[in-house]
């Protein structure tokens, strides 16, 4: 059995606009195995977030193939894609994207509402388990604005983990953090990887990239 979780073959992405077509990614070949931790680096505008959006099923490639868990994503309906996205992908963003009106606990419970297989009465226990992993059990009743940036990012990571996704996609996860908080997030991502999570990190943080098992650089839309 192949342990490849994500396979991109000759993948390309072109945006069409009033000023014409812009090719953002071309001929991307990449296989990511279950359990890997991988850093994606490259200059601003090189296509890193676009690549992550395609892998995270938020956008479609315009050329080539993408297989997630051995399933060609183009063969899926919108509904099937949304289920795959909800159950297999955990997102972590630079600006945390927490809901300010909801408590930490309710933020972490949020993705569970989109999974019909999970009973409402189980939400709290599942969310608390992930809050414990990120070391924030004691903040469950606080609101995001009462937390430091690093703590908010740990809540976002707990939320990303709550559906037990196959892969964590992190787009500049330390981009808004000071170095001390950034180091804590790096340690957490490495710990999660050691516990079995597959982790993809777009980053400018050199020490973070160096600690990953593999680094790929994107330049002018291609892996170099």
Ligand X SMILES: Nc1ncnc2c1ncn2[C@@H]1O[C@H](COP(=O)(O)OP(=O)(O)O)[C@@H](O)[C@H]1O
Among ligand X, Mg ion, none, what does residue 44 contact (CB within 5–8 Å per kind)? ligand X
Closer CB to ligand X, residue 45 or residue 135?
A: 45
Q: How far is residue 193's CA from residue 39's CA, in Å, rounded to a whole number?
A: 13
Name which position in 7, 28, 41, 49 contacts Mg ion (CB under 5 A).
49
Least separation in angstroms between residue 131's CB and ligand X is 29
| Residues making up the chain, counted from first to last | 224
Among Mg ion, ligand X, none, what does residue 37 contact (CB within 5–8 Å per kind)? none
| Segment interacting with ligand X, rule: CB under 6 A, options 47-55, 64-72, 76-84, 161-169 | 47-55
Closer CB to ligand X, residue 50 or residue 153?
A: 50
Look at residues 56, 12, 68 and name the one whose alpha carbon lies nearest to residue 218: 12
The residues in 165-224 that bind ligand X, with binding defined as CB under 6 A, are: none
Least separation in angstroms between residue 97's CB and ligand X is 16
The residues in 13-42 that bind ligand X, with binding defined as CB under 6 A, are: 15, 17, 22, 24, 42
| Segment interacting with ligand X, rule: CB under 6 A, options 43-51, 81-89, 108-116, 183-191 | 43-51
Closer CB to ligand X, residue 55 or residue 134?
A: 55
| Segment interacting with Mg ion, rule: CB under 5 A, options 48-56, 60-68, 69-77, 127-135 | 48-56
Closer CB to ligand X, residue 22 or residue 194?
A: 22
- Give the pairing type, strands 71-72 and 63-68: antiparallel
Look at residues 176, 35, 13 and name the one whose alpha carbon lies nearest to residue 93: 176
Closer CB to Mg ion, residue 49 or residue 184?
A: 49
Q: Which residues bind Mg ion (CB under 5 A)?
A: 49
Q: Which residues bind ligand X (CB under 6 A)?
A: 15, 17, 22, 24, 42, 44-50
């Amino acid at each position: 059995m192949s342990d490849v979780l994500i396979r991109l073959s000759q993948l390309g992405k072109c945006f069409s606009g009033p000023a014409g077509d812009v090719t953002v990614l071309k001929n991307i070949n990449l296989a990511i195995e279950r359990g890997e931790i991988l850093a994606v680096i490259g200059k601003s505008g090189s296509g890193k977030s676009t690549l992550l959006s395609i892998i995270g099923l938020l956008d479609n490639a315009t050329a080539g193939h993408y297989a997630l868990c051995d399933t060609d994503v183009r063969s899926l309906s919108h509904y099937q894609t949304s289920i795959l996205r909800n159950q297999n992908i955990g997102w972590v963003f630079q600006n945390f994207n927490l809901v300010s009106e909801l408590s930490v606990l309710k933020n972490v419970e949020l993705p569970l509402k989109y999974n019909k297989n999970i009973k409402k009465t189980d939400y709290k226990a599942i969310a608390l388990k992930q809050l414990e992993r990120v070391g924030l059990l004691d903040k469950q009743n606080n609101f995001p604005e009462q937390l430091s940036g690093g703590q908010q990012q740990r809540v976002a990571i707990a939320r990303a983990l709550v559906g037990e996704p196959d892969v964590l996609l992190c787009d500049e996860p330390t981009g808004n953090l000071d170095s001390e908080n950034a180091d804590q997030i790096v340690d957490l991502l490495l710990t999660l990887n050691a516990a079995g999570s597959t982790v993809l990190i777009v980053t400018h943080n050199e020490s973070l990239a160096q600690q990953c098992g593999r680094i790929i650089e994107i330049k002018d839309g291609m892996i170099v």
